[in-house]
């Protein structure tokens, strides 16, 4: 029970990200049917029925996943309440947040059943789709920060509804748009589908931005809260990701306009940019889940980092720390007697040696990452060095080994915590998960480049793993008693996540595109690695 309670914070953010993603795909599918497939079916040159069947199948899968995730969220929250408040399970299950998850799960199950019946010829979904979509989003919108506000709760819930609906129609609709580009073979009909989806996306983006701007103005309140709180930092990351999505969407908007003039024109870039939009869009949804777990910035008027403190923390300083303090100087080396007066689960205050140890780990990790970026870049610009530089993925193994041994000083083989026991700490668990991911995509990428793995999916392990690790970094939390210090650490980690997202999806585009765009994407991700390495080399905690 205690282990579950300790990792609940991290698990709940991940689960909420899954819920938002599944909800967006389910609602996006319903919107795609209502606004595109059903009204345009007579003009789709006979492809409408096949497109509807595939869309219904994905709606069924996503709605089923949403129902399962909602009920899992309700069950886990009930267990957490029983464990922390020591109340009966029946009383915990009656909590408002648990009820919201249960109701949302029931609505999602109804959507799944309706989609299954529609696949078999039922017509009820045509009449009920708008209501079901509105109920799914409405229940979620009513369970956000808006519900806890004394003033403006209704307006904020409406803004949240608008924001979620826009995200669902735009981001959740992209998988269906990709289906349509494949299923609709007639060039004129395909151009018509692209034009309709483009118009839907423009409206959805307008709704998303309007709702988001209203919520940001209320929950942040003032500019200093934007950079001085964890909420503001995470919101900034979400805005940066949305700008990236808007760039990709803008490129597809221009491609669709060109398609109207030349219906039989090439679609490769439109498809590849749409694939990347899905990946970045999912990251945005996980970022939104992380944002929902943080207190609004305006509620923390006294625990903000000042602009000078932020600049001081981010300012590059030399020399970098390549020598670690003695282990005996760390808090992790304190004898059990020195910790007996601490509250259960509490850690001793961080000493200057603890901070030096953490900075030493980050600086060495940065050197590994810079080495990989430089080698990957040299592989592209030097034919003479390419045969050696192409082995750059092996550097991942050195980085993973270093992190496993040195990243968490309290854990075996340095500290007194056993390897399994240490996983109770959410931060350590995330470190171990990221270390495992590093090993996986390092080995895969090296084997793929050697031509030893020829499966079609093998080259995609590296970009997907990089982007996934970056998305997890956005859910990464540092549970410190000092909220200002927590914010200053988030400020140094969030840019790393954003660079990771850019590196992962630019590598995806390098694999999926051709010509000049492929070459350009091939330079973006090594440069992203070098930038991430420099951020780590100049990382400071004081």
Q: What are phi and psi of 417, to 5 degrees?
A: -75, 135
Higher pLDDT, 169 or 1: 169
User: Is 357's pLDDT higher than 80?
Assistant: yes
Q: What are phi and psi of 411, to 5 degrees?
A: -105, 155
* pLDDT tens digits, one per residue of 23-68: 999 999 999 999 999 999 888 878 888 899 999 999 999 999 999 9
Distance CA 505, CA 524 (A): 10
User: Is 480's pLDDT higher than 60?
Assistant: no
The conformation of residue 411, written as its DSSP 8-state character, comes to B
Q: Which residues, at least 6 apart from 206, have a Cβ–Cβ distance to it below 8 Å?
A: 166
Question: Using 50, 70 and 90 to split pLDDT, how confident is the model at 96?
Answer: confident
Q: What average pLDDT does range 453-478 have in this prediction?
A: 83
Distance CA 19, CA 21 (A): 5
pLDDT of residue 33: 95
Q: What are phi and psi of 316, to 5 degrees?
A: -65, 135
pLDDT of residue 304: 84
* pLDDT tens digits, one per residue of 107-149: 999 999 999 999 888 888 898 999 999 999 998 887 777 777 7
Q: What average pLDDT does range 72-93 have in this prediction?
A: 84
Question: Using 50, 70 and 90 to split pLDDT, how confident is the model at 176?
Answer: very high
Q: What average pLDDT does range 250-268 have in this prediction?
A: 77
Long-range contacts from 430-436, C-beta under 8 angstroms, 24+ separation: 430/10, 430/472, 430/476, 431/403, 431/407, 432/404, 433/472, 434/403, 434/469, 434/472, 434/473, 435/400, 435/403, 435/404, 435/407
Per the prediction, the chain carries an average pLDDT of 86
In terms of Cβ atoms closer than 10 Å to its own Cβ (0-12, 13-18, 19+), residue 261 is exposed
Q: What average pLDDT does range 427-442 have in this prediction?
A: 79
pLDDT of residue 61: 97
Place of tokens 């059990």: 336
User: Is 303's pLDDT higher than 90?
Assistant: no
226: which 2 tokens? 């934007």
Asked whether the beta carbons of 26 and 136 are under 8 A apart, the reply is: yes
Distance CA 528, CA 511 (A): 17
Higher pLDDT, 310 or 64: 64
In terms of Cβ atoms closer than 10 Å to its own Cβ (0-12, 13-18, 19+), residue 61 is middle
pLDDT of residue 421: 72
Q: What average pLDDT does range 257-284 have in this prediction?
A: 83
HSE value, Cβ hemisphere, 13 Å, CA-based, for 439:
10
Closest of 173, 181, 183 to residue 271, by C-alpha: 181
- The partner residues of 411 in beta bridges, in order of sequence, read 417
CA distances (Å), origin 381, targets 1, 462, 534: 55, 21, 21
DSSP string, 196-226: HHHHHHHHHHHHHHHHHHHHHHHHH-SHHHH
In terms of Cβ atoms closer than 10 Å to its own Cβ (0-12, 13-18, 19+), residue 253 is middle
What percent of the chain clears pLDDT 90, i.e. is strictly above it? 37
User: Is 331's pLDDT higher than 70?
Assistant: yes
Place of tokens 């998988």: 175
Q: What average pLDDT does range 360-384 have in this prediction?
A: 93
Question: Using 50, 70 and 90 to split pLDDT, how confident is the model at 434?
Answer: confident
Q: What average pLDDT does range 451-474 have in this prediction?
A: 87
């Amino acid at each position: 029970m205690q282990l579950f309670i300790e990792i609940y914070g991290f698990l709940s953010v991940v689960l909420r990200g899954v819920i938002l993603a599944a909800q967006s795909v389910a609602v996006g599918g319903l919107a795609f049917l209502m606004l595109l497939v059903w009204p345009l079916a007579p003009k789709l040159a006979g492809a409408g029925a096949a497109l509807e069947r595939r869309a219904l199948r994905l709606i069924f899968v996503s709605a089923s996943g949403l129902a399962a995730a909602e009920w899992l969220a309700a069950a886990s929250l009930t267990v957490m309440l029983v464990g922390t408040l020591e109340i009966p399970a029946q009383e915990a299950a009656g909590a408002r947040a648990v009820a919201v998850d249960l109701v949302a799960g029931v609505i999602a199950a109804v959507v799944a059943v309706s989609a299954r019946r529609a696949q078999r010829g039922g017509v009820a979904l045509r009449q009920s789709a708008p209501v079901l979509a509105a109920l799914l989003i409405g229940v979620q919108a009513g369970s956000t920060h808006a519900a806890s506000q004394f003033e403006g709760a209704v307006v904020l819930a409406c803004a949240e509804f608008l924001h979620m609906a826009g995200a669902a129609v735009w981001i959740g609709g992209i998988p269906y748009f990709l289906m349509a580009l494949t299923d609709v073979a007639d060039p004129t009909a395909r151009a018509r589908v692209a034009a309709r989806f483009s118009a839907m996306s423009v409206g959805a983006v307008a709704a998303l931005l309007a709702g988001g701007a209203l919520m940001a103005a209320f929950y942040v309140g003032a500019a200093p809260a934007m950079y001085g709180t964890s909420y503001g930092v995470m919101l900034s990351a979400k805005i940066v990701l949305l700008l990236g999505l808007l760039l990709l969407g803008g490129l597809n908007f221009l491609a669709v306009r060109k398609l109207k003039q030349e219906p039989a024109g090439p679609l490769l870039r439109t498809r590849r940019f749409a694939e990347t939009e899905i990946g970045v869009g999912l990251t945005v949804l996980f970022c939104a889940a992380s944002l929902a777990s943080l207190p609004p910035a305006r509620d923390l008027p006294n625990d903000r980092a000042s602009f000078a403190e932020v600049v001081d923390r981010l300012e590059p300083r030399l020399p970098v720390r390549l020598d670690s303090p003695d282990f005996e100087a760390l808090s992790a080396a304190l004898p059990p007697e020195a910790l007996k007066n601490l509250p259960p689960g509490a850690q001793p205050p961080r000493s200057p040696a603890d901070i030096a140890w953490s900075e030493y780990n980050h600086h060495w990790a940065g050197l590994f990452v810079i080495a990989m970026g430089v080698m990957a870049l040299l592989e592209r610009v030097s034919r003479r060095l390419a045969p050696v530089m192409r082995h750059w993925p092996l550097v991942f193994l050195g980085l993973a080994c270093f992190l496993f041994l040195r990243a968490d000083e309290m854990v075996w083989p340095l500290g007194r915590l056993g390897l399994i026991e240490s996983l109770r700490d959410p931060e350590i668990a995330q470190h171990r998960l990221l270390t495992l991911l590093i090993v996986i995509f390092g080995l895969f990428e090296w084997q793929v480049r050697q031509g030893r793995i020829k499966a079609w999916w093998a080259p995609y392990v590296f970009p997907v793993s990089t982007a996934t690790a970056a998305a997890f970094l956005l859910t990464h939390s540092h549970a410190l008693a000092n909220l200002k210090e927590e914010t200053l650490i988030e400020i140094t980690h969030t840019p790393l996540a954003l660079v990771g997202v850019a590196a992962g999806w630019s590598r995806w585009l390098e694999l999926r595109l051709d010509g000049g765009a492929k070459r350009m994407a091939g330079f973006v991700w090594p440069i992203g690695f070098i930038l991430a390495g420099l951020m780590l080399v100049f990382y400071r905690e004081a």
